[in-house]
Structure 1
Amino acid sequence: MPETPSSDDQFADLFGKLPAPQRAVPSRPDGKSPPDRPSEQPLSRRAAREAAARGDAEASELHLAAGGVAAAPVTAADHAATPRASGEAARGETRAAAPEPPRSPATIDALFGADAAASDHVHDKRHARDRRKGRIAGWVILGIVLLLLGGVVAGGFYVWTTYEDKIRAFMGWEEPKDYEAGQANGEAVVTIVEGDTGSSISQRLYEAGVTKTSGAFYDYLISNAVATEFYPGAYRLQKQMTSAAALEALEDPANKMENTAQLREGLTVEQSLPILADGTGIPLKDLQKAVATPADYGVSADSLEGWLFPATYTFGPEATAKDVIKTLVDRTITSLDRADVPKDRREEILTIASIIQREARFEDDFFKVSRVIQNRLDSSNQETHGLLQMDSTAQYGYGEMHDGSASTSAEAQYDDNPWNTYVRKGLPVGPIANPGDLAIDAAMHPAEGPWLYFVTVNLDTGETIFTDTYQEHQKYVKQWQSWCAENPDSGC
């Protein structure tokens, strides 16, 4: 073979480097090598057996080596223990050296084993790196998908909450505005006050659970061109009535409750006295005189505003005006005591509760509005500077609370009076209406939250949005303005 590798045939070069396999062949007894065999090769098995029969120990050792068992090296101790071996050494006989153990021939696997192992190691490292990259790529893709899905969900939620009524109308998903006939059950008392219109009565029927939506009764009056006159008083109706059935019940004198007066939450003293007069038969002027002196009932305030507790009352025919007023004031004190209101804070809590009563629609909103009041009263709040800016207080101070509009006129908003919280810091000088149990409880236990603003974006459903910043608040004010533009007869 060439001493230098040939580039023409690399496999030939590799095979050329393989060592020739060696076989141990024993020497002949006369010391001569058999023909065509190297002298170092051991005897065959047959020759070894024949030598053993002749007592040739040396050939026997070679036999053991030829049989595949490596002979142990001969030491000086072995010679001493074997006289025959010592004699032979003295006679100068040459002893054949024990052959080396046969080596396993090199193979192709042996040549390529190291390279293959190195290649496998590199492959494993590359595979592990590829798997890591694959996992990272998978997480990145999953994150992108989740972000996209989150954006779709958030966008869908915004569109639904903003345009729910339009979507329902377009898709034909509008829910019935009125209950179906035959659903009426239970009992509900509805009070009509002087000056009520179809729109305000419609709202009151809804709040009492008589009609399904706040506009159902009013829409029925308009669509059927109903022209009727409503008389003040307390009327006994049922819950879940149709608008037609509710109208019939209000026009039936038998449903008007005698010697009974119902004061609903949020009424003022001015609104409450005519209801009491109509329900009890006591002259209005007697009732007006009875409320002129709050001290007669243990109230230290200048007015009984907020102290005539809203509830349904039935009086005997002998009741006087003072009896009636005392019954209502005592009921207010009972409610304050139940809420653990300290005596020296009664007027303050009634003032807060009266604002909550006028501003909130649903139970959860009562406690949130209470928190907004507390947050805005905090003088350290740089966004509000201690101004409540409640429309209900501006309307009460200017005398436009009962004009049927939820909006505050510019004149009322900037009028400087002791109740207007747009121009005066802190609470108004006193209550602005009669609060109920829920409002008193909310005044004592406001919800936890950072809210500073709220606006009712749908007067039919009462949906109210609470926000932390003026910029966010303005977004929902625009939503309310859009709703009012689409519902011009809704009381905006």
Structure 2
Amino acid sequence: MADEPNWEDIFNDDSSESAPKSARAAAAHGTERAESADVERADTVSADAQTADTAVSGAAVAPTGEQPMTRREARAAHGSPAARSSQSSTAVDADSTEPRPPRRKRRWWLIIGLPILLIALAGAAVATYAWVNYEEKIREVLGWELPNDFEGAGNGEEVIVTVNSGDIGSDIARTLNVAGVTLTFDAFYDLLLVQETDPAFFPGNYSLQKEMSAQSALDALLDPENKVTDRLLITEGTTLPDALEIISQTTGIALAELQTASADLAHFGLPAEAISLEGYLFPATYEIDGSQDPYVVLDLMVNTMYEKLDAAGVAVEDRYRILTMAALVQREAGPNTDDFYKIARVFYNRLDQGILLQSDATVAYGTGNLHTVWTTDSERADASNPYNTYANPGLPVGPIGLPGELAIDAAINPVAGDWLFFVPINLATGETVFTTNVDDHEAAAQQLRDWCAESEENGSYC
């Protein structure tokens, strides 16, 4: 704004203002200032000096022979209309008295206002930090209810949500929240609890939007029109049984036909060690037209996996080993991409040192519990389970899911490190603790158990 002070004016010395106009005029005309300066320093002006001064400046002075004018009289004469008229007719200023430096302006507004401004800015920064990091606690203290649901039917941004066979209400509530469809887990889960009858959810992919109200999301999942049938989406970590069911729901191919085709291992050119098609279907989105038979769809996905392995430099004879490790990493890792490479290193370190891998994920897969990594003491002791890495040395007998490119790269290029243990302590954020000894590992494992017991939402991950 025009009225605001200029920062250069604030911090520049007022005494450095430019010389008076009369001095500038004299300098412009090359006039000597010595005589005027002498006149200014004299207490009285002699008649001869007055005459000289009159000749130079044209200012009114006392006639020759009269008593000298005092300074007061000289200034009075200099300020008369006649004198001013005479001054205006010449380039030289007759008033040789140096102007008094202007009084320094007091910047009271700066002295008082600046500290207040700084305090206000600091307070705003503190308040912003507190709100960003402790919003929930602040709302609790002040009695402000934290919103837990969006309004309306979404923001127009499509998101594909997958419902797997066997998913229960808490699984779907978590899936919707993680995908950004609902604002919170509770919004959808609490809505399910007040339904008169339990909604029937069918496996498959559904087209929803981000930022939907819980009711809108529920309605969309129950509407067959929202089931995706023109695109086949298989996500990383999906197990083979779930993938076959999603393929069936998307393409219309009978599930039994897909299961039969998937058992024909010789057709797909799998490694000799492979005991199933698990791990060999590449998770991605495929365009389909609904006319494919089961072999066409499965061939497309297997060949895509081979192409990815070839591009990553994996030799044909190493496909089985790399996919088995990659699937293990995929199942154990969370959303933190760096952890993929660290988890691979942990497993390689244990293999190199002859230590059992002790992965609960492999044990659970072997028991048929495909949607959990939690196991019991008896399950971990069962050596008849070929996937039990607590009782059997080395890698499991095959992949335990469909790994994506990141997991494959981690299996090929693990990061350097000496860790022997890892455990996630927050399954929602994926925060994972890596350790080198049993005591630290057990302490972290207790953190995970405590986290799972904190809420229904946390428990849905466990």
The TM-score range, normalised by the shorter chain, is: 0.5 to 0.7
Residue 419 (structure 1) aligned with residue 387 (structure 2): yes
**What is the deviation of 1:479?**
1.6
Aligned with residue 337 of structure 1, among 286, 289, 310: 310
Please list the CA deviations of residues 57-94 of structure 1 after superposition, one character each: whole Å capped at 9, or x if unmatched: xxxxxxxxxxxxxxxxxxxxxxxxxxxxxxxxxxxxxx
**C-alpha contact (below 8 Å) 1:263/1:272 kept by paired residues:** yes
SS in 2 for 1:348: helix
- 2-structure distance, mates of 1:181, 1:447: 45
SS in 1 for 2:158: strand
Q: Equivalences for 1:413-452 in 2 at 5 Å? A: 413-416=380-383, 417-452=385-420
Residue 299 (structure 1) aligned with residue 273 (structure 2): no
Aligned with residue 246 of structure 2, among 263, 266, 275: 275
**What is the deviation of 1:211?**
3.5
SS in 1 for 2:241: helix
- 1-structure distance, mates of 2:394, 2:251: 39
Aligned to 1:410: 377
**C-alpha contact (below 8 Å) 2:364/2:373 kept by paired residues:** no
Q: Equivalences for 1:140-155 in 2 at 5 Å? A: none
**What is the deviation of 1:202?**
2.3
Size of the alignment, in residue pairs?
Answer: 324
- 2-structure distance, mates of 1:239, 1:437: 26
- 1-structure distance, mates of 2:404, 2:420: 24
SS in 1 for 2:375: coil
The one-letter amino acid paired with 2:247 is L
Aligned with residue 157 of structure 2, among 164, 186, 197: 186
The one-letter amino acid paired with 1:370 is A
**C-alpha contact (below 8 Å) 2:136/2:146 kept by paired residues:** no
**What is the deviation of 1:214?**
5.4
The one-letter amino acid paired with 1:378 is D
Backbone CA RMSD of aligned residues: 2.9
**What is the deviation of 1:457?**
1.8
TM-score, scaled to structure 2: 0.64
SS in 2 for 1:236: strand
**What is the deviation of 1:168?**
7.2
Identity among equivalent positions (%) equals 44
SS in 1 for 2:157: strand
Residue 265 (structure 1) aligned with residue 245 (structure 2): no
Unaligned runs of 5+ in 2: 1-133
**C-alpha contact (below 8 Å) 1:214/1:460 kept by paired residues:** no
**C-alpha contact (below 8 Å) 2:153/2:216 kept by paired residues:** no
TM-score, scaled to structure 1: 0.60
The one-letter amino acid paired with 2:447 is Q
Unaligned runs of 5+ in 1: 1-163, 380-384
Q: Equivalences for 1:70-469 in 2 at 5 Å? A: 171=141, 178-179=149-150, 184-212=155-183, 217-222=188-193, 227-300=198-271, 301-362=274-335, 363-379=337-353, 385-402=354-371, 405-416=372-383, 417-469=385-437
**C-alpha contact (below 8 Å) 2:327/2:401 kept by paired residues:** yes
**What is the deviation of 1:434?**
0.7
Aligned to 1:153: none
**C-alpha contact (below 8 Å) 2:153/2:209 kept by paired residues:** no
**C-alpha contact (below 8 Å) 2:139/2:146 kept by paired residues:** no
CA spacing shift, 1:481–1:298, aligned 2, 3 Å: same
- 2-structure distance, mates of 1:335, 1:179: 40
The one-letter amino acid paired with 1:276 is I
- 2-structure distance, mates of 1:397, 1:332: 23
SS in 1 for 2:215: helix
Q: Equivalences for 1:7-46 in 2 at 5 Å? A: none
Please list the CA deviations of residues 324-361 of structure 1 after superposition, one character each: whole Å capped at 9, or x if unmatched: 11011011112212322222111111111111111111
